[in-house]
């Protein structure tokens, strides 16, 4: 297949592109290479995939309508995987406009490209952040998820609703993936694992919010990629049993599906930190702080639907995943 991957120099996009190339697909990777975090890390990821003759990189921004139209016109893609987005819950509180430009306007340009060029399947990144105030766990795709805690989650919910309208109006198969706290080698420097690791190696304290009383469904990157790869050639189909009197938010009479991708084994934040301390061989100095605005106290994914659809559910333990991240960090940063 010929596949467009947006956010190809990002954490998930890089790993996914590598996997798709190994499978023999032709991949066009798009990224705006913005400086939300260290561009050198993005460049280093890109350097590992640019040498593949089945890969083409295009530097572009999703909000550039003319450029995206041109990319679709020239690309004639079989599938599109949209991972490009302005990431980060806390950053969305300080920089709301960048989230609308990338996550809403940019996503509209992707939908329009898929619609006009008859793309066979659009897969796009949503987030566990859409569950917001919901406390009925484990989170299920059938839940309404209408109370996001910050604009980031709201833009991801908007993506799901926009995708549904295009699936309904134009028959475009769309699959939304609600990622749960993805971590692993080549991860984002603004994420807790990266921040904690750097601080421990630098001999500085780590900031532990809500005094450590948080639980997360930490999901290892290889599990995320495996789930996406299996979904590529299994486009969404209509749910013939859909009941409009009791609607299921994760499916539709249109070719539209939502899937949680999480480890389904929530881990307490303090246990996550303990796994990191063990992998590094040092105890972290901890700076306990109150809860931050926009954060959820707990996440927990029900992945039954994903397993039923593609025969796979994430299972990598936090101990194994954190150990692999630390090994990569030591090598990449020579510490």
Six-digit token string for 331: 């090598």
Kindly compute the dihedral angle of the four CA atoms of residues 297, 303, 306, 312, in this order, to the nearest 10 degrees: 120
For strands 55-59 and 256-261, give the pairing: unpaired
Distances (CA, A) of 87 to 36, 140, 162, 310, 313: 9, 23, 19, 27, 24
Distance CA 205, CA 268 (A): 19
Distance CA 93, CA 97 (A): 10
Using the structure block, give the residue that is written with the tokens 């790993």. 15
HSE-up of residue 91 (Cα within 13 Å, Cβ side): 13
Six-digit token string for 62: 């999703």
Q: Which residue out of 36, 37, 91, 152 is catalytically annotated?
A: 152
The answer to whether 152 is a known catalytic residue is yes
Distance CA 12, CA 183 (A): 9
For strands 182-183 and 206-208, give the pairing: unpaired
Q: H or E stretch including 163?
A: helix 151-170
Using the structure block, give the residue that is written with the tokens 């101990």. 319
CB distance 215 to 297 below 8 Å? yes
CB distance 199 to 85 below 8 Å? no
Nearest residue to 196 via CA among 57, 329, 71: 329
Q: Where are the alpha helices (DSSP H) in 213-298?
A: 221-232, 269-280
User: How many C-beta atoms lie closer than 10 Å to residue 149's C-beta?
Assistant: 18
Catalytic positions: 152
């Amino acid at each position: 297949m010929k596949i467009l991957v947006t956010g190809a120099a990002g954490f998930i996009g890089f790993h996914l592109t590598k996997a798709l190339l190994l499978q023999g697909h032709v991949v066009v990777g798009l990224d705006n290479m913005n400086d939300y975090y260290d561009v050198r890390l993005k460049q280093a990821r890109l350097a590992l995939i640019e040498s593949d003759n089945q890969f083409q990189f295009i530097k572009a921004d999703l909000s550039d309508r003319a450029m995206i139209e041109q990319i679709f016109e020239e690309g004639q893609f079989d599938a599109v995987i949209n991972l490009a987005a302005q990431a980060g819950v806390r950053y969305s509180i300080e920089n709301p406009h960048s989230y609308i430009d990338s996550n809403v306007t940019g996503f509209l340009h992707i939908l329009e490209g898929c619609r006009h060029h008859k793309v066979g399947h659009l897969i796009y990144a949503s987030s566990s952040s859409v569950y917001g105030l919901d406390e009925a766990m484990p989170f299920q795709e059938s839940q309404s998820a209408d109370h996001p805690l910050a604009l980031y989650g709201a833009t991801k919910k908007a993506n799901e609703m926009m995708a549904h309208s295009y699936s309904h109006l134009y028959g475009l198969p769309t699959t939304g993936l609600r990622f749960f706290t993805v971590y692993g080698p080549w991860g984002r420097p603004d994420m807790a694992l990266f921040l904690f690791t750097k601080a421990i190696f630098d001999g500085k304290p780590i900031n532990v919010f809500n005094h450590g009383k948080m639980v997360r469904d930490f999901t290892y990157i290889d599990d995320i990629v495996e789930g996406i790869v299996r979904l590529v050639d299994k486009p969404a189909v209509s749910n013939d049993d859909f009941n409009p009197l009791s609607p299921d938010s994760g499916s539709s009479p249109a070719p539209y599906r939502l899937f949680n991708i999480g480890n389904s084994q929530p881990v307490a934040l303090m246990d996550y930190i303990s796994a990191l301390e063990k992998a590094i061989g040092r105890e972290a100095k901890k700076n306990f702080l109150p809860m931050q605005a926009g954060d959820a106290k707990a996440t927990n994914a029900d992945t039954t639907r994903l397993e039923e659809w593609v025969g796979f559910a994430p299972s990598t333990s936090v101990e194994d995943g954190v150990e692999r991240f630390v090994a990569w960090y030591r090598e990449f940063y020579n510490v």
